[in-house]
Structure 1
């Protein structure tokens, strides 16, 4: 009887394995799983582990494996601090507690294709986290719902913090392309090249790829759209709350020389006299190091010049684009009184102070606080996306669409009431409200279904509009119409046009 039970167990296991989806890709054969008719593969390596001598190098070719590789769980998140909920970001918005490792170059795929010949549109999502944190394993990035709507959904990892961006004179010297830094962006390129070579195995169309990202992921999308190295790797772009068109205190534009100086200081702080010594240190020692860079730079390779200049000259990858921001997107410090807000404004804006206070009034402390929040949203996020759409319309041929996400997320307590906060739109855009613990109302599920439908339509055709959806007008500088996403979804003139015009003038 015991022998029969063992035999039956083996038979069932073999049967389940036979029913599991498989694919042959760069490196070898993989096996995934099927959930509600969606094929799911997690933890697919798209490059060699960037460890040891490969730390701070452009991603290298995948190391082949023997047999069939099980791809049933996410690969490690990139090296960073352990995830701890803070401010408005609860556990669902953060990476899993483990594993976290330098060995992080993995991607994940969800596909509902029945055959490899379907050629479904491909949607590649790039996470946020300030380029210091984040990973593809967050619950809100689950791709099942989007796959059910007809796209092949892909999430990718990239190196963050000093592991993804350190520049150093020795690194520049050893690189064939005579530059350093921006390894995180090169990781994204490697993932997109992998998609071009392999996505047909999952029923995807390599000639119809949309890249999308939020926060740092949106900054990354802007960099990819600007870079000559990414030509032909994608065909549409979506940026949620982020861009680097204009100079900004949030993402100052550094030259390679500036970045190398920071890298040399980073090595000095760790008592390392050479690159070889830096590479011998453990991941933890590097992560605890002081200084170093954790954001993109104009390196002369990935970015030959600033993104703004590239767009001005019409040298960007000319692709249809969706850009937008949230009503409570913000980066701001302690609340200022009306008096302090005005004084700070005078010191910063000088002769433009009156223009500034006309659009960000501060007659009362309450009004000053509201204006302060508006500044944190508009300067760091809103105007970047606004000018991005404006410049794309001016120097490119492809259309741009702007949205404002204004739905204040329902909350259980006043302590969790952050309105339409930074990242709040992500579960809506990918129809993933089920992954977040909130007291959702019926209207929230309706918004999520429609917003994700816009995203899918755009991935399919470059036009987000479709049947049973409120019309989303193409961005036109003559009327400045944007799609307001709230309990009611409607296309109307940009509510913060005056604020956008101020920042465009000031930051140019």
Structure 2
């Protein structure tokens, strides 16, 4: 037998990856059969936001002709590169394109009206992608969910408000394009997910960090509210949102922020700019992408909407990480030379609230207090406020604290760092990036991950988080119960007593003053009183 003939016979004997076909309202699509799952990658959910469609609301995609292959992830949206030394650096650079509005689906092959979880990736609304290995949905789908992960426009392409763009818009608004992409993806799911075995009436939105921020935006975005039934908010931050045309709470108008980042005078010039160049330039100019209160897409300040009961009345599972700021030290104040200097700085900034502050964040451990202060002001306060709001609206909701460590993480002084729960909630313990502290492959780590997968899956399916053999997770109530994830999950009432009340008081004072944002400008980063 010749070598060529042997190679030919061997190739014929090796089966190609089994494919699976779905005929959805959007069009016919082929995915990959992986065991009991069908996986579809890179399905477009809107027209490419390029050329004249840059900085416009996403446009529906007509039903495509023929059969579209959905076997490879779509490109990430245009974004600045993540520093190679970052704990969040990907294993390989993400391929990017301005044509990036795609989603991915993991579904049980025999699913019929299965609950759906739509994942919104994090990355400060500036970086990230649904194609990251960390977000592989197979383990959640193995438990009966249909899992959808989405891309949305990022940075200046996704969130730039600008006078020239507002002038050409029929509603005279701009920015919020990334948020509108998320709404469009949810609308696509509503129309199409039944063809993949999902229940369009049982959709849970979920996200971490900027994905969690996005979930809170969606909860107060009128167009999104009918499109989901529950929300999972991991390390969300309900910070001050700029208004489109007016200064508010110490923030300049979103249009003014955009005009400083990209000062071109007309929309046509802006649209001729190279996408990567303008994204990098805006980031270098200090542009921080956020949604804006435009009275249309986002009608009011999110925290005001929750106070007024204008949010989606849905159950929420929300929480944060003990060591959020250990990997986000840019958000923390520089430690002073001594505990005495720390206490003096706090007293100068907090006045009659200083004693209460120092009881929670004492001077004797001031270096740790400096990390805990923005953690609680951003993530802790937000998590509890969301759960309190939804409980008050009559929707049972659930609060957690992720406090798990393992040797590589703790040796790097990154105990329970921002996003470190993600490999456990997705079951992707071996799929972290090159700088991520390696999760040990042990029965204990897999057991904790399985418990979290169970809790998240059952919440998405029924609104009640459960796991076989683990503690019952009580809904939030006056005893302040919190699920504490350490080596194993356990319930601890009043674990963070005082944290919420203090930070709520700070936010209320700042709202009343009307001149100070509420975000990471706390502790030694808080403003000194104006004489």
Q: TM-score scaled by structure 1?
A: 0.90
1:104 partnered with 2:100: yes
Say which is worse superposed, 100-109 or 29-38, in terms of deviation.
29-38
The answer (yes or no) to whether the contact 1:88–1:418 under 8 Å persists in 2 is: no
Cα pair 1:409 1:424 within 8 Å, conserved? no
**Count of residues in correspondence between the two structures:** 486
User: Within 1, Cα distance between the matches of 2:77 and 2:320?
Assistant: 26
**Residue 115 of structure 2 contacts residue 203 of structure 2 at CA under 8 Å; is this kept in 1?**
yes
Q: Is the 8 A contact 1:409 1:417 kept in 2?
A: no
Query: Per-residue CA shift, 1:283-316, capped at 9, x if unaligned?
Result: 1221132354511111211221111221112121
Question: Which residue is 1:154 aligned to?
Answer: 148
Aligned to 1:325: 320
1:26 to partner: Cα distance: 4.6
Deviation at 1:63, TM superposition (A): 5.1
Identify the residue that residue 397 of structure 1 maps to in structure 2.
394
Closer, same or farther: CA 492–52 of 1 in aligned 2, 3 Å: same
Would the aligned equivalents of 1:410 and 1:417 in 2 still touch at CA under 8 Å? Answer: no
Is the CA contact 1:263–1:293 (under 8 Å) kept in the aligned structure 2? no
Q: What is the RMSD computed on CA atoms of the aligned residues?
A: 2.3
Q: Secondary structure at the match of 2:363?
A: coil
Residue 263 of structure 1 pairs with residue 283 of structure 2: no
After superposition, residues 1-150 of structure 1 pair within 5 angstroms as: 16=16, 19-62=18-61, 64-91=63-90, 96-114=92-110, 118-150=112-144
Distance 1:52 1:499 in 2: 48
State which of 222, 225, 230 in structure 1 corresponds to 2:224. 230
Report the Cα distance in structure 2 between the residues aligned to 1:456 and 1:434, rounded to whole angstroms.
Answer: 20
Determine helix, strand or coil for the equivalent of 1:108. strand
Residue 10 of structure 1 and its aligned partner are, at CA, apart by: 9.8
| Aligned 8 A contact 1:79 1:160 in 2 | yes
Secondary structure of 1:228's counterpart equals coil
Partner of 2:361 in structure 1?
360
* Aligned position for 1:248: none
CA contact (8 A) 2:77 2:152 kept: yes
Tell me how far 1:27 sits from its aligned partner.
Answer: 4.2
Q: Distance in 2 between matches of 1:52 and 1:65?
A: 21
Match of 1:178 among 154, 172, 176: 172
1:225 is displaced (CA, Å) by 1.1
**Per the alignment, do residues 286 and 26 of structure 1 end up closer, same or farther by CA in structure 2, a change over 3 Å counting?**
farther
Whether the aligned pair in 1 keeps the contact of 2:405 and 2:487 (CA below 8 Å) is: no
Conserved in 2, the CA contact under 8 Å of 1:262 and 1:291? no
Shift of the alpha carbon at 1:184? Answer: 0.8
Q: How does 1:277-288 map to 2 (within 5 A)?
A: 277-288=269-280
Q: Within 1, Cα distance between the matches of 2:137 and 2:366?
A: 41
* Separation of aligned partners in 2, 1:374 and 1:318: 31
What is the match of residue 334 of structure 2?
A: 334
User: Structure 1 265/241 Cα, relative in aligned 2: closer, same or farther at 3 Å?
Assistant: same
Displacement of 1:4 after TM fit?
Answer: 9.0
Residue in 1 that maps onto 2:522: none
User: 2:430 matched to 1:429?
Assistant: no
Q: TM-score, normalised by structure 2?
A: 0.86
* 1:350-402 C-alpha deviation (Å, 9 max, x unpaired): 22112111111112xxx1011111112101110011111112222x1211100
Among residues 391, 403, 406, which one is paired with 1:406 in the alignment? 403
Distance 1:231 1:24, change over 3 A: same
Task: Tell me if 1:253 matches 2:250.
Answer: no
The answer to whether the 8 Å contact 2:55/2:158 transfers is: yes
C-alpha contact 2:79 2:280 (8 A) present in aligned 1: no
Partners of 2:256 and 2:192 in 1: CA distance: 39
Contact 1:412/1:439, CA 8 A, preserved across alignment: no
Is residue 451–residue 467 contact of structure 2 (8 Å, CA) maintained in 1?
no
Question: Distance between the aligned counterparts of 2:85 and 2:291, measured in 1?
Answer: 25
Q: How does 1:191-230 map to 2 (within 5 A)?
A: 191-230=185-224
Range that drifts further, 235-244 or 171-180: 171-180
Question: Using the alignment, how far apart are the partners of 1:458 and 1:481 within structure 2?
Answer: 17
Aligned to 1:343: 344
Structure 1: 4+ residue segments shifted above 6 A: 1-13
